[in-house]
Structure 1
């Protein structure tokens, strides 16, 4: 058995990114490493993203998060003030909305039902 469970993501401002991933996506702090300017944030299924402050942040990174219902999540998050690049729509990767984190990384939301239907 092999399971992908951690991802390192360089960020330009750790505090700003930490707050965005917690407030916007609802990730929880697993642990922090102040000496490395890093924090591990975990989703509800045990996957962790290590945010580590770096002077240079690469482009072209996209993250996909599976949710229960794309349309409902989009409506709820929009009501909370989350700014999306676009709402749920058919894309090359499937169906869902996109938003960007503070460093410009693309965050895509999807669900199993609409991926099959749309």
Structure 2
């Protein structure tokens, strides 16, 4: 394998697999898929997946600390498939602008959650 391919494969594995090189790994569970390290649905406000917690200053913030759903391999992969299908005819900038719609992202979440419920 040429060096450029190795470097690219390393990036893909770090993003799509269990990134054991990350200083925070495992932040949810051993063997988790790290593709959605930063959840595209945040805040989803789905009480099966998270909850509002109180900060020291008394304000509330959505916590996904106990969310395992988005880190399951089949769920992470299905989310990516849905996003790629919706953006296949767009440039990266157009795709990001298109997906910067919280309601659309929550629709994707619900579609995937119907297929792969939180267990």
Q: TM-score range by the shorter chain?
A: under 0.3
Point out the structure with the larger strand share: 1
Structure showing greater radius of gyration is 2
TM-score (norm 1): 0.26
